Structure 1
Amino acid sequence: MNVPLGMASRKRRKRSPRLYMVMILFLLLLAFIPICWWVVTQIPSGERVAPYEGRKQVIVFQGKPYEKPFAQENEQVLLPFDFIKEHLDPHIFWDEPSNSIIVTTKDKVLRMESEKVVAYLNRTPVDLSVPVKEIDGVRFVPFSPLEKLYPVTVRVTESGMLIVEQDGYSVQSGEVIADEDQPELMRLGPSIKQPIVAEQPAKAKVDILGERDNWYQVETSDGIVGYLPKESVRLQEIRKVTLPQTPEQAKAAPIKPLEGKVNLTWEQVSSRNPNLANIPAMPGLNVISPTWFELKDEQGTLSNKADPAYVEWAHKRGYQVWGLVSNGFNPDWTQAVLKDFRLREKLVGQILNYADLYNLDGINLDFENVYLEDKQNLVQFVRELTPYLHEQGLIVSMDVTIKSTSERWSLFYDRPALSQVVDYMIVMTYDEHAAASPEAGSVASLPWVEEGLRGVLAEIPNDKLILGMPYYTRLWKEEKQSDGTIKVSSKALTMETAEAWMKERNLKAQPDEQSGQLFVSYTDPQDGATYKMWLEEAGSIQKRVELVHKYALAGVASWRRGYEKSGIWETVQETLNKSGKP
């Protein structure tokens, strides 16, 4: 049956109101969702959480919580060893053989053995209320014996937190703005949806650690860290931690270096001391360093060749005497001594006794040929020795090489760490071509010296650095072998011996632009060997001393007395006394 078109249209229009209602409800829902979302986001969180996820005995170091807790025993605070090393003293040392904590300062050495209630401060017994101990695998150190050594303040709050701050720490302070009967809520993060971590009453003091999204990150006086709206905090003055010096710290005056530039020479003493009557005048010299003390076994025993008559002779001429202490260049003995506090302490004791016995003015440390693995133990030894020497008023210097990739010649020196401890460092800028070199060359060409000097100046302050220079040369011999190869050998000559060798052969040295020195070459008509020398004389020494002014160094040191030619001391003195660059 056919339905008229008009009737079909009317039937479809009867279903339209339903559709309209659905559309209206949908539109209302779309409008209601943002309103609901806005309402939900504006409702502050009422959740409350414990500070630091409920952890107890939290250390708060200058606004930052530390992952390990502190400990308390007999009302004494104990700090984790790792915390002290990370934040207070990177040089605190754990000595495994003696099971001891060792702390060194400019003039103090403190040793605390685990589970022992007696410590030793500069070898003097000190009673402890609580010993060093291990708790749940964490090594703890009592703070009481450290408080006079470290410029640090610690405070246990009512909530059981430990606030630790160093001298000089500064932070913006603020005061909480709140109703008297309604404290301000401090939240875990910068949002009202974050849980509440604490309440702060009106006028409560807080430290402002940072800001984010109109919130301040703050630390309360109770050691709790959280967030407050910026409008609820009134900024106040900058708070700075200023701690008074303890009597021990006040007495730790730095050792004064020599007035003017150092002019040092080493006195090589192999078996017996020189005849003092045969030593000529040395104008300008102010320090002499005899090679008197040397490690002779793995038990830390020092051999002693010191002579009180030599010291008396030197003092009458105005020279300071810095006794040289060598490791004998034996890496195995050195390792055995450096790795054990008890042997290091034995070595320290001998040095102190000899320094006092012979009325020395300083100690020069010459440790060479050391295993790379003993690098930090060498630093620790110097840190343990230097405070005692400073306590006796002695100057401490140490010899180092220039930088290179050689482990046992250069890499084992931690120059930045060592330079923080000693008063002077002497860079031995010689033996560019050592005795066993496969090719002939200068002992210390001027470009090589200056390049090496710049390298160590990147690690050592210039006002602590002394330039070492050679008073000797090497006579090189090149012999052609039957197989066509060249055999190279050498022997060291003093300035006078080198001059006499040339005079015998009627030779005259010529300037060598590449080395900055005088150079001579000679072929012997009898054996066909070629001889070569790069000479040390007044001109080369003057150029070396001029580097002291160019780089504002502390002075010069020469190896060794007796190798120089007459007149060299005047050259050094005149050049060293110049002011400014040459």
Structure 2
Amino acid sequence: MMTGRQRPRRRRQRLGPIFVSIFILTALASAALFWWLSERPNTAHETPEYASIEHPIMLDGEWSQTGAQGEGEGLLIPLEIARKLLGDGVRYEQDSQSIILTTNQAVLHFKTGELDATMNRKPLKLSFAAKDEDGKLYLPFAPLKELFGIQAEVGETSGIVTLLMPDKKVQQGEVPASSKKGAKLRSGPDKSYPIVEDLAPGADVTVWGEEEGWYKLQSAEGFIGYAPKSGIALGESKVVPSASEEEKPFVPWNLTNERINLTWEPVYTANPDTGKIGELTGVNVVSPTWFALKDGTGQIISKADASYSTWARNKGVQVWGLFSNDFEPVKTTQALADYDTRMSMIQQLLAYAKAFKLNGINLDFENVETSDKDNFVQFVRELAPLLHEQNLVLSVDVTPKSGSEYWSLFLDRGRLAEAADFLILMAYDEHWASSPEAGSVASLPWTEQSISRLLEEDGVPAGKLILGMPFYTRIWTETVSGTGETKVTSKTMSMDSVNKLLAEKKLTPKLSEETGQNYVEFKEEGATKKIWIEDASSIRKRAELVKKYSLAGAASWRRGFESSDIWAALDKALQ
């Protein structure tokens, strides 16, 4: 009986290895199938999401998430794409439906739905108008191509639009003609991704990058995808043609090896008697404060004097008429708000420049709302090309960088430098007239820091920066009250006034290592008097900063505050 029971168990034991073998074989077969399937190229084709759009726009090998409209010469592209490509070169003002395109040489203005336009104030007829479709603005591509040199390549059957900026270097490639099967353009850098387009032998492609043995490509039809590097032959790089340039580009300063040496001429009520001005050794530009904003409509008040211009011209000195916003923030906001008021100011300045034979305009806008930052940049962008057309220079006065909203934060110095010929850094009033503490008008370390911040933080080219320096100082009075509180007041003084005071009181200044200036302190009627002195020594040090940083030159505020030795000292130091 026991023997009979043991035999079935032996049969079951013999079946175990069989089941194990079957399991192993099945696992191996599954693994082999999985490996084969994973290694097998995906043969499925996939239509990209952007193919459902009429004219999808591609930028630098990426879909822009939007599309164009129209065909051929009537191609229209969205405002957002134009702004992405051209930045400040494109401006849209919704209230008037105005579109303004600006370059270094041109200002093109037109309105939505209208073919009538102006180019540098001259009438122009567009072939196609801008249009607003469901709240989305489309611009005609033709003027963008003409002004900025943007190129558009359109897929013959796909309708895909590829936009290329001028001077862009683009790597070319092709599927080798010897390839029998061509290449598969896939949606990702692996053969498991579906096929976007079949590329025939000899097909041209644009190479936008590479990733783990795969090239990121764009086909002639505009489709974007990936193909193995081994299946693509690289060709030459092509450079998109530059935008057309004027035959004689405007040169703002062509005096060989001579730095700008500008001085401001203050004209408050009447112009100076030029017969009493005397010799301004080294000065090659004068900037009389002739023009000021009258109101929010853009009307300009003029105190210009033809005899002054004639006097300067006879001395070989350029005249850059100063235009001020009169330091009035409200009317400045109104005047900068739209194209019509800005153009009104520009037309008046052009008329004054012609009438008084000016060589340039110097903009001095101060005490401005921070919200007007973009509008001020736009004004400069519109003014510059129209001045250049008349061979006139544009300089813009800027303060040192600070946290002051109305006096500093409204200035986008980098963007202003792109549009204007020169920025003049008004490197003074480190301690202003009503400062709560006494101090230098412009210490040398503070001045140098102000220069370096504009060059390094804002990217202002050194060759476009003019260093403004003070010909004045302040005498500070510190009076201690009975409660121990110190009251600080100041009075502005010219160089001659300081020299006279020093002589009268027989004071001997000493060099302040902290400020780099001569300094004097004395007691008078129980109060402490302090003066950080501007003289030939401090002016020479400022001129050395001009040379150290390879700046365009120097500007001085103002003529009439200098002592007799200053012009020769400054001229020599700038050499």
State the TM bucket, normalised to the shorter chain. Answer: over 0.9
CA distance in 2, matches of 1:432, 1:298: 31
Comparing 504-513 and 266-275, the one that deviates more: 504-513
Alignment partner, residue 7 of structure 2: 10
Higher Cα radius of gyration: 1
- Residues 318 and 252 (structure 1 numbering): CA distance in 2 closer, same or farther, change over 3 Å? closer
Normalised to the residue count of structure 2, the TM-score between the two structures is: 0.94
**Aligned with 2:352: secondary structure?**
helix
CA distance in 2, matches of 1:407, 1:573: 36
**Aligned with 2:147: secondary structure?**
coil
**Deviation sequence 1:289-312 (CA, Å, 0-9, x none):** 000001121211111000000000
**8 Å contact 1:84–1:90 — kept in the other structure?**
no
**Aligned with 2:75: secondary structure?**
strand
Q: Cα distance, 1:497 vs. partner?
A: 1.7
2:509 pairs with 1:486: no
22, 27, 31: which one aligns with 1:30: 27
**Aligned with 1:67: secondary structure?**
strand
CA distance in 2, matches of 1:175, 1:473: 70
Letter of the 2:109 counterpart:
R
Alignment partner, residue 338 of structure 2: 340
**Deviation sequence 1:20-46 (CA, Å, 0-9, x none):** 432232122122112222332344433
**8 Å contact 1:329–1:368 — kept in the other structure?**
yes
**8 Å contact 2:50–2:56 — kept in the other structure?**
no
**8 Å contact 1:473–1:493 — kept in the other structure?**
yes
**Aligned with 1:15: secondary structure?**
helix
Q: Cα distance, 1:141 vs. partner?
A: 0.4
- Residues 71 and 250 (structure 1 numbering): CA distance in 2 closer, same or farther, change over 3 Å? farther
Letter of the 1:68 counterpart:
T
291, 304, 317: which one aligns with 2:289: 291
Letter of the 1:274 counterpart:
P
Alignment partner, residue 172 of structure 1: 171
- Residues 275 and 19 (structure 1 numbering): CA distance in 2 closer, same or farther, change over 3 Å? same
**Equivalence map 1:150-169=2 (5 Å):** 150-158=148-156, 159-169=158-168
Letter of the 1:265 counterpart:
T
409, 423, 428: which one aligns with 2:421: 423
Comparing 338-347 and 484-493, the one that deviates more: 484-493
Alignment partner, residue 518 of structure 2: 518
Q: Cα distance, 1:401 vs. partner?
A: 1.0
**Deviation sequence 1:150-203 (CA, Å, 0-9, x none):** 122113221211122222222332222467885543322233332222222221
**8 Å contact 2:297–2:334 — kept in the other structure?**
yes
Alignment partner, residue 222 of structure 2: 223
Q: Cα distance, 1:361 vs. partner?
A: 0.5
Q: Cα distance, 1:560 vs. partner?
A: 0.6
CA distance in 2, matches of 1:203, 1:376: 50
Q: Cα distance, 1:257 vs. partner?
A: 4.7
2:51 pairs with 1:54: yes
Structure 2 unaligned residues grouped into runs of 5+:
none
Alignment partner, residue 319 of structure 1: 317
CA distance in 1, matches of 2:315, 2:334: 40
**8 Å contact 1:386–1:396 — kept in the other structure?**
yes
CA distance in 2, matches of 1:90, 1:324: 25
**8 Å contact 1:98–1:342 — kept in the other structure?**
no
CA distance in 2, matches of 1:144, 1:416: 29
**Aligned with 1:148: secondary structure?**
helix
- Residues 296 and 189 (structure 1 numbering): CA distance in 2 closer, same or farther, change over 3 Å? same
Q: Cα distance, 1:493 vs. partner?
A: 1.4
Q: Cα distance, 1:75 vs. partner?
A: 4.9
CA distance in 1, matches of 2:247, 2:313: 31
Alignment partner, residue 384 of structure 2: 386
Alignment partner, residue 536 of structure 2: 538
**8 Å contact 2:153–2:161 — kept in the other structure?**
yes
Comparing 176-185 and 355-364, the one that deviates more: 176-185
Alignment partner, residue 307 of structure 2: 309
- Residues 488 and 69 (structure 1 numbering): CA distance in 2 closer, same or farther, change over 3 Å? same
Alignment partner, residue 211 of structure 2: 212
Q: Cα distance, 1:334 vs. partner?
A: 0.9
- Residues 267 and 196 (structure 1 numbering): CA distance in 2 closer, same or farther, change over 3 Å? same
446, 449, 474: which one aligns with 2:447: 449
Q: Cα distance, 1:434 vs. partner?
A: 1.3
**Aligned with 2:89: secondary structure?**
coil
**Aligned with 2:406: secondary structure?**
helix
Q: Cα distance, 1:105 vs. partner?
A: 0.6
Structure 1 unaligned residues grouped into runs of 5+:
578-582
- Residues 83 and 512 (structure 1 numbering): CA distance in 2 closer, same or farther, change over 3 Å? same
**Aligned with 1:490: secondary structure?**
strand
**Equivalence map 1:225-304=2 (5 Å):** 225-243=224-242, 246=244, 249-259=246-256, 260-304=258-302
Alignment partner, residue 580 of structure 1: none
CA distance in 2, matches of 1:408, 1:427: 16
Alignment partner, residue 144 of structure 2: 146
Letter of the 2:287 counterpart:
S
Comparing 556-565 and 461-470, the one that deviates more: 461-470
**Equivalence map 1:387-406=2 (5 Å):** 387-406=385-404
**8 Å contact 2:250–2:391 — kept in the other structure?**
no
Letter of the 1:219 counterpart:
Q
Letter of the 1:263 counterpart:
N
**8 Å contact 1:205–1:221 — kept in the other structure?**
yes
Comparing 421-430 and 318-327, the one that deviates more: 421-430
**Aligned with 1:438: secondary structure?**
coil
- Residues 201 and 474 (structure 1 numbering): CA distance in 2 closer, same or farther, change over 3 Å? same
Q: How many residue pairs are counted as aligned between the two chains?
A: 570
CA distance in 2, matches of 1:441, 1:234: 69
CA distance in 2, matches of 1:219, 1:359: 55
CA distance in 2, matches of 1:576, 1:466: 12
- Residues 40 and 507 (structure 1 numbering): CA distance in 2 closer, same or farther, change over 3 Å? closer
Q: Cα distance, 1:126 vs. partner?
A: 1.3
Comparing 300-309 and 474-483, the one that deviates more: 474-483
CA distance in 1, matches of 2:363, 2:522: 40
Q: Cα distance, 1:225 vs. partner?
A: 1.4
Root-mean-square deviation (Å): 2.1
- Residues 15 and 498 (structure 1 numbering): CA distance in 2 closer, same or farther, change over 3 Å? closer
**8 Å contact 2:50–2:63 — kept in the other structure?**
no
**8 Å contact 1:174–1:205 — kept in the other structure?**
yes
Q: Cα distance, 1:438 vs. partner?
A: 2.0
Alignment partner, residue 500 of structure 2: 500
Q: Cα distance, 1:542 vs. partner?
A: 1.6
Alignment partner, residue 191 of structure 2: 192
Comparing 317-326 and 443-452, the one that deviates more: 443-452
Q: Cα distance, 1:276 vs. partner?
A: 1.2
**8 Å contact 1:74–1:129 — kept in the other structure?**
no
Comparing 42-51 and 375-384, the one that deviates more: 42-51
Comparing 306-315 and 426-435, the one that deviates more: 426-435
CA distance in 2, matches of 1:253, 1:171: 30
349, 359, 362: which one aligns with 2:360: 362
CA distance in 1, matches of 2:62, 2:562: 61
Letter of the 1:49 counterpart:
E
